[in-house]
Structure 1
Amino acid sequence: MGNLGATVENASPREAGAAALQHRPWTGGGDLSRPLEAIERFLSGAGFDRGPWLAVAFAAGIVAWFALPTKADWIGFLAACAIVAVCGVAPWKSARNYPYLRQALVVIALLAIAGCLTVWARSSIVGEVPIERPIVGTFTAKVLQIEPQPALERDRLILSMREPVTGRAIKVRVNVPGRNLAGKVAIDDVVRFKGRLMPPAPPMLPGAYNFARTAWFSGIAASGSSLGEIAVVKQSGGGGRKLSDMRRALANHIRAQIGDERAGIATALVTGDRGGIMDADAEAMRDSGLAHLLSVSGLHVGAVVGAVYVLSLRVLALSTWLALRLRLPVAAAGIGALAGVGYTLLSGSEVPTVRSCLGALLVLAALSLGREALSLRMLAVAAFCVMLLWPESVTGPSFQMSFGAVLALVAVSTSAPAKNFMQPRDEFLVARVMRHLAMLLLTGLVIDLALMPIGLFHFHRAGIYGALANVTAIPLTTFVVMPLLAGALLLDVVGAGGPLWWLAQVAIDLLTAIAHWFASRPAAVTILPAGQNYAFVVFVAGGLWLGLWSGKVRWLGLPFALLGAGILALAEPPDVLVSGDGRHVGLLEPGGKRLFVLRNGGEGYARDNLMELAGIEGEPALLKEWPGARCNPDFCAVVIVKTGRAWRLLISQGRNGVPERALAAACDRSDIVISDRWLPRSCVPRWFKADRNSLSQTGGIALNLARQELTTVAQSQGNHGWWRPAPQPLKRPARPPGLSAQ
């Protein structure tokens, strides 16, 4: 000890400081261990259900595959997750002190890897390379699916055929003008038609609907329309035809009994065919927050399965012999399962319906085993089943809204305040009914608040009064409309369904009246421009934390959910929108109150996209009406004043030849030039040029002038199979003065 003291005393100040640092009580490892210990204590004492978080980790891997642009990024993500898993199992120092943390690292990382690989494998297996260019000709194909759309005066066919150029087998979607095509053509028939086929369209604008991605995972390589009559070359009498005939016969029978005006909603509830719904009714249902009632999903399948289960259980219980020898809940569950599968097949077996049927079957299995029918663990199992079969659905609104609604329902019903509020007590019947109605209203309000940001993100609009409308519309649909339709169809076997059909008409009229009334209320619809992806991720993360944890810790997710929803609500609309072909341009006036469009497209797809992405409702004005706009048959020159700066735009609208020197001079005076045709290299604006060549690479664009920010469709697509920009043409030499730009 004396030698050590002498050494320190004789040492220089620098050496003494170094010796002191070597013997300091806090080391880097100690600093790191403190947060690790806090996490370990949190995980060990949280008492949470791990199943739902495993489903979240699997979904995160799927989302990562969609978000990352290239194959190298996907491999890097898999490698990073693998490193995390190795760190979880590695025998690092003090590893035994963190068993819960190590387990979480390993399991979450492995499930994220599994999710990424699952969607990657499905994309490689089912994805179909689209046709390279539009094709016009006469085609022979086999009918795979028929979607009657009488409200749009057309039918839609999914066909299997050979590509004329390469001879490969492809699946195409064709719209056939006219009505009652389904009366002539059935599934598995071979047909011949003259038509025009095009590659599936990518998003028209950043944030718009991506049909190309939907077609990729559906195996559709082209879409188009027929240019004449559909001729049946060969009829088929297989099972597909019988099921198609049954569905068509049901739709025709309902239409004959209830009339065309109400048949659209009735047929949608019975067969899943929404093509006959009137536009006014469909818009009212959407704006009132009742659009989910028109799509056969969890509500409808659950109503059918639940009704059959309860009815079967009551009927079987009437027999003492059966009650003593059978487990009646198991037998009733089997009958309910058969009813659910039959209803799914009858309604067309679309992905949301199949997903709902799987969930209903899991609930029946839980009831048969004596387990809780609706729980977070059951929700996680259902989500896993769906993600294994259709991993691409994770990024779609149907998956997010259906599972989000059930998660909100379970979170509210299993919370301690809700349980205390709903505990049985000695009270009058009126008080009990009022308490159940209050709980129903509260649950509907929470579900509506949870789903509103999802609807705003995907559809850019949401109904404000959805909770109130659903409180009346859901019981009316579940307990009145659907039983009346089912009873009327059953009684029609003996010709006695007339009274029930009349009651069904009254109930459907009441349902549409509720939708129209709520849709017509002041400020019934919220319309917002396209929001940022990161804001939606923050909202979803906060919502999952709120729904999946229990106790006070769950409220830590509320600030994040509110932050994400707030950012979405405060999304700033773009100043300039340009479609991928350059033909459609939208300019938002300062203040965001009116949209000016280059071409008057009526109520078409392009106009709707421009208005949705701009967050504008109301009839748009033509660009030539912009204050101070100067337009001729070839170009429009406009000035947008933003944050004190005047932006000069030059937008082409004609196809005539233009002297190159004049065009170059006009470009030189402009900040932004937009054209749907090729512009020569001599056209150099001050900031940005979007012509046919550049737009073929970027797709649609959105410009924010205040931030000088450019957003393109290509930025959100990456190198996934469904995004195939046009090949970059060879650069053309600059034309001599006097020649026209084509």
Structure 2
Amino acid sequence: MAADRTLSPLFGPACAAALVAGALVCVLLPVLPPLWASVAATVVAALGWVLRWRGRAAAALLFGLAWTCCHGYWAMQTQLPAGSAAQDVLVRGQVIDLPKETPAHTRFEFRVDASDAMPTLRGKRLQVLWHAPRGGPTDAGLDQRRLLHAGADWQLSLRVRPPRSRINPGGFDGERQALLRGLAGNASVRDSNSTRQLRPAHGLPAWRERTSAAIARQIAHPSARFIQALALGDTRRLSDVDWAQLRALGLTHLIAISGFHVGLVAGFAALLCSALWRSWPGLARFWPRPQAAACAAAAAAAGYAVVAGSELPTVRTALMIAVLALARVARRPVTVA
């Protein structure tokens, strides 16, 4: 029995640290190892992690490295092949985020639902740039560009190319950003005459845009842009000066939706659920109050993460709250150790 105490638990601190370290090693690699080697290492490491032996932490380290490599290959396969030539295609799909409009162009994410010329684009997401026409603000193309709303279905004539960006040191890495956001490539609208709206704005993206516009109307003050960012993650109206001031104050991590916001929503949901159970004690006969409050917090966190655009900080926080709620429902002890 004394030898068993020297073994690292399956999900103990040693294995958890080794798993994270393995993933970090993969991130630092200049080139991904071959896919076949990554898959084989993942299987072997998973077996070594499950078995009870003294090398369990080392197996977790290898699993973190190999699994992250496999995930990197899967993420790269969703993108258009690097170095492929730009192609002009006619696509149909949906605007899935809030369009960012400037006098020179409109930028938005577009999910392709159908493309006769490039069937491989179906289901993939593109970063689309719609430039203002040369005719100026009175041109019909600019008016059509202003009809673009989140959640609307459009037919667009696009020039599609793989993700690319400048490689200046210290500059913005567009290829990295495309990989993080799951974008298959970049595109620009080529022929405004071939574009047309197939279906008006609908669904959750349209609701976000309408709610953001309602906040601007109800507050009717320049500070409404901060409320839009804090409530819905809509940072379209924040200027470069705003971001510079927020960086100087150390508030950039709070102005857009972060884990702190999701935690507040989950906490309020838990308090409301607890108050409801205290007001009607008979509810405890069907469901214990601590478990109900935990599930309410998890549901509120998940819902708010979806409403806020499902950014990485919000999804991460919602998942951790769900794990905590699952532990409460399973009556498992929860500690900070």
Classify the TM-score, shorter chain.
0.7 to 0.9
The aligned amino acid for 1:119 is H
Q: For each residue in 1:99-138, what CA deviation from the matched residue of structure 2 results, as whole angstroms up to 9, or x when unmatched?
A: 9744434x43553355345424533653442562345x57
Pick the aligned partner of 1:104 from 47, 50, 57: 57
Distance 1:254 1:314 in 2: 29
Which residues of 2 match residues 106-255 of structure 1 at below 5 A? 107-109=59-61, 111-112=63-64, 114-116=66-68, 118-120=70-72, 122-123=74-75, 126-130=78-82, 132-135=84-87, 139-149=90-100, 154-160=106-112, 168-169=120-121, 171-176=125-130, 184-187=148-151, 189-193=153-157, 196-206=159-169, 208-216=171-179, 218-226=181-189, 229=192, 231-235=195-199, 241-255=202-216
**What is the Cα deviation at residue 291 of structure 1?**
0.7
Residue 78 to residue 205, structure 1, CA distance change in 2 (3 Å): farther
Distance 1:281 1:73 in 2: 44
Q: For each residue in 1:157-186, what CA deviation from the matched residue of structure 2 results, as whole angstroms up to 9, or x when unmatched?
A: 324177797553254211335799685444
1:569 equivalent in structure 2: none
Distance 1:293 1:363 in 2: 23
Distance 1:80 1:326 in 2: 41
Residue 182 to residue 305, structure 1, CA distance change in 2 (3 Å): farther
Distance 1:277 1:125 in 2: 34
Distance 1:288 1:161 in 2: 43
Pick the aligned partner of 1:354 from 299, 315, 323: 315
Q: For each residue in 1:552-596, what CA deviation from the matched residue of structure 2 results, as whole angstroms up to 9, or x when unmatched?
A: xxxxxxxxxxxxxxxxxxxxxxxxxxxxxxxxxxxxxxxxxxxxx
Distance 1:363 1:329 in 2: 12
| Contact 2:226–2:238 (8 Å) recurs in 1 | yes
Residue 172 to residue 191, structure 1, CA distance change in 2 (3 Å): same
| Contact 1:131–1:221 (8 Å) recurs in 2 | no
Identity across matched positions, percent: 22
**What is the Cα deviation at residue 318 of structure 1?**
1.3
**What is the Cα deviation at residue 264 of structure 1?**
2.0
2:135 equivalent in structure 1: none
Residue 260 to residue 140, structure 1, CA distance change in 2 (3 Å): farther
Which residues of 2 match residues 335-346 of structure 1 at below 5 A? 335-346=296-307
Distance 1:210 1:346 in 2: 27
Which secondary structure does the structure 1 equivalent of 2:196 belong to? Answer: strand
Distance 1:156 1:345 in 2: 18
Structure 2: gaps (5+ residues): 133-141
**What is the Cα deviation at residue 250 of structure 1?**
0.5
Which secondary structure does the structure 2 equivalent of 1:156 belong to? Answer: strand
Distance 1:271 1:215 in 2: 22
Structure 1: gaps (5+ residues): 1-39, 90-98, 377-742
Query: Scaled by the length of structure 1, what TM-score is found?
Result: 0.37
**What is the Cα deviation at residue 273 of structure 1?**
1.6
**What is the Cα deviation at residue 146 of structure 1?**
2.4
Which secondary structure does the structure 1 equivalent of 2:223 belong to? Answer: helix
Distance 2:172 2:190 in 1: 26
1:379 equivalent in structure 2: none
1:275 equivalent in structure 2: 236
Is 1:302 aligned to 2:254, yes or no?
no
The aligned amino acid for 1:267 is Q
Distance 2:80 2:190 in 1: 25
| Contact 1:199–1:222 (8 Å) recurs in 2 | yes
**What is the Cα deviation at residue 259 of structure 1?**
2.9
Distance 1:163 1:129 in 2: 17
**What is the Cα deviation at residue 254 of structure 1?**
0.1
The aligned amino acid for 1:174 is V
**What is the Cα deviation at residue 189 of structure 1?**
0.6
Query: Scaled by the length of structure 2, what TM-score is found?
Result: 0.74
Distance 2:335 2:112 in 1: 41
Which secondary structure does the structure 2 equivalent of 1:146 belong to? Answer: coil
Distance 1:50 1:80 in 2: 17
2:137 equivalent in structure 1: none
Q: For each residue in 1:699-725, what CA deviation from the matched residue of structure 2 results, as whole angstroms up to 9, or x when unmatched?
A: xxxxxxxxxxxxxxxxxxxxxxxxxxx
| Contact 1:81–1:109 (8 Å) recurs in 2 | no
Residue 200 to residue 330, structure 1, CA distance change in 2 (3 Å): same
Distance 1:293 1:337 in 2: 21
| Contact 2:107–2:130 (8 Å) recurs in 1 | yes
**What is the Cα deviation at residue 74 of structure 1?**
8.4
The aligned amino acid for 1:192 is L
**What is the Cα deviation at residue 372 of structure 1?**
5.9
**What is the Cα deviation at residue 303 of structure 1?**
0.6
| Contact 2:82–2:162 (8 Å) recurs in 1 | yes
The aligned amino acid for 1:354 is V
| Contact 1:254–1:267 (8 Å) recurs in 2 | yes
Q: For each residue in 1:408-453, what CA deviation from the matched residue of structure 2 results, as whole angstroms up to 9, or x when unmatched?
A: xxxxxxxxxxxxxxxxxxxxxxxxxxxxxxxxxxxxxxxxxxxxxx
**What is the Cα deviation at residue 302 of structure 1?**
0.7
| Contact 1:271–1:347 (8 Å) recurs in 2 | yes
Which residues of 2 match residues 705-716 of structure 1 at below 5 A? none
| Contact 1:127–1:217 (8 Å) recurs in 2 | no
| Contact 1:150–1:276 (8 Å) recurs in 2 | no
Which secondary structure does the structure 2 equivalent of 1:261 belong to? Answer: coil
Distance 1:369 1:77 in 2: 34
**What is the Cα deviation at residue 142 of structure 1?**
1.0
Is 1:75 aligned to 2:75, yes or no?
no
